[in-house]
Amino acid sequence: MSYYNEMYEGSRVRDPYARLSQWVETMPADFRQMKQAEAEALFRRIGITFAVYGEGGDPDRLIPFDMMPRVFEQAEWRRLERGIKQRARALNAFLRDVYGRAEIVRAGRIPARLVYQNEAYEKAVVGVVPPRGVYSHIIGIDLVRTAKDEFFVLEDNCRTPSGVSYMLENREIMMRMFPGLFRGNRIEPVDQYPDLLRRTLESVAPAKCHDRPTCVILTPGHFNSAYYEHSFLANLMGVELVEGADLFVDGEFVYMRTTQGPKRVDVIYRRIDDPFLDPLCFRPDSMLGVPGLMDVYRSGGVSICSAPGAGVADDKAIYTFVPEMVRFYLGEEPLLQNVQTWTLWKDDDYKFVMEHLPDLVVKEVHGSGGYGMLVGPRSTREEIEAFRAKIEANPGNYIAQPTLALSTCPTFVEEGLAPRHVDLRPYCLCGDRIELVPGGLTRVALREGSLVVNSSQGGGVKDTWVLSE
Amino acid sequence: MKLRIVHQTVYRYDRPVRNLVQSLRLTPSVCEGQRTHDWGIDVTGGIRGPGFRDGAGDWIEGWTVRGPTEEVAVTVTGRVETRDTAGVLRGHRELIHPLAYLRDTGATRADAALKDLAASVADAADSLDLAHRLSAAVSEAIAYVPGQTGFHTTAAEALAQGSGVCQDHAHALIAVARRRDLPARYVSGYLRATTEETAHEAAHAWAEIHVDRLGWIGFDPANRCCPDERYVRLGSGLDASDAAPIRGIAAGQGAETLDVAVNVEEVERFQSQSQGQTQS
């Protein structure tokens, strides 16, 4: 299999990488090692040691940072940006629809059972229309590239995608260590993200809020692997970071305890999952949430971002229908393609997949983080047969996709630069406007030949540049 | 039937509690065969919070009590005029798709015995007939015996011991109906109980099963019948916890004890308040 290397066209260095190529060539090896050690020390000092959403593993482990940036040209990025915003609009239209009249189900374009029997479908919010009709306010869309003009969406994250603090810190550290690089290149900034996020949250304040909205970030607490990110974002946005016990319901509203007395809260950016939000509506044993929160939310007294129930749009089974959503709600052709997906609960697909296991990637429908998956071409015959038995036991739990020829980016290894596979997670903000900072989080599979970029599987991160015109 | 209902739930705490928050599903459904007059909910020392009709058609009311307090009484009084609709839920405005009620919860998950019970019922000409047979099978399998099961008893546990109360019957019927691919849900409400019946609880629960063409139909396996004019419907959910008339929590270390008194009595006519007030 051949892979698209984002830095080269044949043996020629592509224009956006020209200066970086020079930079690397003139860099002495010992200087590079010194800088790599410096970067690691910086990350440790800042304390950014957490796993990306749902990846599990040791929360205090440092995710390796690669100093070689990934670069997009302005034109490449504009195309991606249009595709991402289009997809974000369709996902929110879908959520509005399935919690309302469900026209897409009535029209027979998505099977009713896939929606209503989905674990993430919350019947408690049926009929509730959040401010501006937005359910998912921060959408992380995972993209892979297979050729110069060929991008595919691997998955959508409509609940609480994390990792954006890496995007911000990677840039910060690169600028601190290599200020010269940023003088010579016209790189679009990403540091406006916290302001845009706050503006987005304020734009979806409930109608009952008449002053400047009070926003908070609700965290499960410091045991959570992404706690660093929660406090980092709260700090940059200038909003309070609260735990469930800091909030309480009184009458028709939610308040936070402050040293000056109770203060009404209008918008909650929650980083805890639906089942734990409110013991009076969901899991009665949850200690992380706020009792009565859902009644206040459902009667329009507070906004919750993302809205409870938003997860029904990002399930791997629903994923196969996102291009259909784009056509159905927007009347447009999807600008970003899905990866071809076989769903093993369909007989034909099952038969095909079982005959081609060595060539395919098989994933659990509700799995994440690179666990519980089979990468056929990289597995031994024993591994494949063991996985076959798991599929046979519960076919409905799996989907399969072709093994994609993920693009590579030059990455620092012992001997210098070497190609390593990458993906990209941009963060799309949806409020009164849909906004996207130019860039995102690039994850890189540091092991030679590996196609799995998850940090739990030996993945690292890179700064991601979008060059201005 | 003209029914007068007084329902009081008193929570007592051995140490004072603060910030008591409740979500109440304590207002009769708006549907055919059920007209509500002068319905009132009161929580001692409480502040009435948000009230809204949810996607299932239930009227939900949030209440908060700031405290500190050692006792909170939730008192519901009102009158409901009922008519027999042969168990059919009609004129009830709800938005949730029936397929959302095929999902299992801990209380309604079918173990091997429940699966066997579901499979033991012969196929029927239509889903209504099947629902009747499933309800009869549950009535046979679980005897009405109060005091042997609790709020946290699951359908599987109740079937294993072969006895239970209305909550257990409803859970078991929901479990077997879902096994047969019929959407099913838990309904809480009141029952005007007369002495001949087996189940004497005035605070009552039963199941609804969704059948083609007719929609939601009530089944009360504890009393081997479909709800009639003796029944007052409050609200529904996936199981007893999801459909609970009162869900509440308080801040503090106080241990809670609970007293419930429900009185449902038939009256000749509603007294002189001429202005009937209907919930909408």
pLDDT of res. A449: 86
Chain B residue with Cα closest to A129 = B55
Per-position DSSP letters for chain B, written without gaps between them: -EEEEEEEEEEEEEEEEEEEEEEE--S---BTTEEEEEEEEEETTEEEEEEEE-TTS-EEEEEEE-S-EEEEEEEEEEEEEE---TTB--S----S-GGGGG---TTT---HHHHHHHHHSPP-SSHHHHHHHHHHHHHHHSEE-TTS--TT--HHHHHHHTEE-HHHHHHHHHHHHHHTT--EEEEEEEE---TTSS---SEEEEEEEEETTTEEEEEBTTTTB---TTEEEEEEESSTTTT-SEEEEEESS--EEEEEEEEEEE-SS--S--------
Both B42 and B113 in a single domain? no
d(CA B54, CA B94): 8
- Band of pLDDT at residue B193, cut at 50, 70 and 90: confident
Q: What is the pLDDT of residues B118-133, one digit of tens each?
A: 999 999 889 999 999 9
Both B249 and B232 in a single domain? no
Residue B103 sits in a domain whose CATH number is 3.10.620.30
pLDDT of res. A47: 61
| Chain A residues lying within 8 Å of B21, measured CB to CB | 248-249, 280, 291-292
- Band of pLDDT at residue B227, cut at 50, 70 and 90: very high
Q: Is some CB atom of chain A closer than 8 A to the CB atom of B109?
A: no
Cβ of A250 within 8 Å of Cβ of B51? The answer is no
Both B233 and B102 in a single domain? yes
Cβ of A249 within 8 Å of Cβ of B64? The answer is yes
| Chain B residues lying within 8 Å of A112, measured CB to CB | 97, 99
pLDDT of res. A49: 55
Both B222 and B262 in a single domain? no
Could you tell me the residue range of the domain that residue B55 belongs to? 2-82+244-266
- For residue A50, the SS3 value is coil
pLDDT of res. B64: 97
What is the ipTM, given to two decimal places?
A: 0.93
CATH architecture of A341-402: 2-Layer Sandwich (3.30)
- For residue A363, the SS3 value is strand
Cβ-Cβ contacts under 8 Å for A440 (sequence gap 6 or more): A167, A424, A425, A426, A427, A464
Both B26 and B110 in a single domain? no
Task: Name residue, tokens 């507070």.
Answer: A302
Residue B69 domain flag? yes
| Chain B residues lying within 8 Å of A299, measured CB to CB | 49-52, 62
Q: Which residues of B132-170 are buried (b: 16+ CB within 10 A; e: fewer)?
A: bbbbebbbebbebeeeebeeebbbbbbbeeebbbbbbbb
Chain A residue with Cα closest to B60 = A295
Cβ of A295 within 8 Å of Cβ of B50? The answer is yes
Average pLDDT over residues B129-153: 95
Q: Which of B49, B103, B238 sits opposite A295 (nearest CB)?
A: B49
Among B41, B95, B241, B246, most A C-beta atoms within 10 A, so best to mutate, is B95
Judged by average pLDDT, the poorest of A32-46, A403-417, B136-150, B190-204 is B190-204
In eight-state DSSP terms, residue A377 is G
pLDDT of res. A351: 96
d(CA B28, CA B57): 10
| Chain A residues lying within 8 Å of B96, measured CB to CB | 123, 126
Per-position DSSP letters for A165-216, written without gaps between them: HHHHHHHHHHHHH-HHHHHHS-B---TTHHHHHHHHHHHT--TT--SSPPEE
pLDDT of res. A450: 86
Among A208, A248, A295, most B C-beta atoms within 10 A, so best to mutate, is A295
Both B108 and B196 in a single domain? yes
Residue B77: strand pairing partners? B6, B40
Rounded to a whole number of angstroms, the distance from the CA of B59 to the nearest CA of chain A is 11
pLDDT of res. A222: 87
Residue B173 domain flag? yes
Q: Is it the case that residue B198 has pLDDT exceeding 90?
A: no
Q: Is some CB atom of chain B closer than 8 A to the CB atom of A119?
A: yes
pLDDT of res. B278: 43
Q: Is some CB atom of chain A closer than 8 A to the CB atom of B23?
A: yes
- Per-domain residue ranges of chain A: 8-332+405-466, 341-402
Q: Is some CB atom of chain A closer than 8 A to the CB atom of B106?
A: no
In eight-state DSSP terms, residue A467 is B
Both B109 and B187 in a single domain? yes
Q: Which of B23, B96, B103 sits opposite A281 (nearest CB)?
A: B23
Residue B13 domain flag? yes
Residue B42 domain flag? yes
Q: Is some CB atom of chain A closer than 8 A to the CB atom of B247?
A: yes
Both B138 and B56 in a single domain? no
Among A280, A281, A285, A312, most B C-beta atoms within 10 A, so best to mutate, is A280
Both B119 and B233 in a single domain? yes
Both B256 and B221 in a single domain? no
pLDDT of res. A61: 63
Task: Give the total residue count for chain A.
Answer: 469
Rounded to a whole number of angstroms, the distance from the CA of B14 to the nearest CA of chain A is 21
Chain A residue with Cα closest to B55 = A126
Q: Is some CB atom of chain B closer than 8 A to the CB atom of A281?
A: yes
Q: Does A306 sit behind a cis peptide bond, omega within 30 degrees of 0 on the bond before it?
A: yes
Q: Is it the case that residue B280 has pLDDT exceeding 50?
A: no
Chain B residue with Cα closest to A100 = B95
Cβ of B19 within 8 Å of Cβ of A105? The answer is no
At how many degrees (to 10) do helices A193-203 and A227-237 cross?
Answer: 80
pLDDT of res. A345: 86
Cβ of B97 within 8 Å of Cβ of A301? The answer is no
| Chain A residues lying within 8 Å of B251, measured CB to CB | 248
- The answer to whether residues B167 and B240 touch, using CB atoms and an 8 Å cutoff, is yes
- The answer to whether residues A468 and A186 touch, using CB atoms and an 8 Å cutoff, is yes
Number of Cβ within a 10 Å radius of residue B210 = 21
Residue B177 domain flag? yes
pLDDT of res. B115: 98
pLDDT of res. A53: 43
Cβ of A117 within 8 Å of Cβ of B23? The answer is no
Q: pTM for this structure?
A: 0.94
Q: Domains in chain B: how many in total?
A: 2
Residue ranges of chain A with pLDDT lower than 70? 1, 47-61, 367-371, 456
Residue B47 sits in a domain whose CATH number is 2.60.40.2250
Average pLDDT taken over every residue of chain B: 92
| Chain A residues lying within 8 Å of B60, measured CB to CB | 295, 298
| Chain A residues lying within 8 Å of B102, measured CB to CB | 113, 116-117
Q: Is it the case that residue B201 has pLDDT exceeding 80?
A: no
pLDDT of res. B195: 61
Quick one: which of A305, A270, A165, A272 has its CA closest to A228? A165
The region that residue A15 occupies, defined by phi over 0 for left and psi between -120 and 50 for alpha, beta otherwise, is alpha
Cβ of A116 within 8 Å of Cβ of B102? The answer is yes
Q: Is it the case that residue B20 has pLDDT exceeding 70?
A: yes
Both B61 and B170 in a single domain? no
Q: Is some CB atom of chain B closer than 8 A to the CB atom of A246?
A: no
Q: Is some CB atom of chain B closer than 8 A to the CB atom of A127?
A: yes
Rounded to a whole number of angstroms, the distance from the CA of A160 to the nearest CA of chain B is 24
Q: Is some CB atom of chain B closer than 8 A to the CB atom of A251?
A: yes
Q: Which of B48, B56, B103 sits opposite A117 (nearest CB)?
A: B103
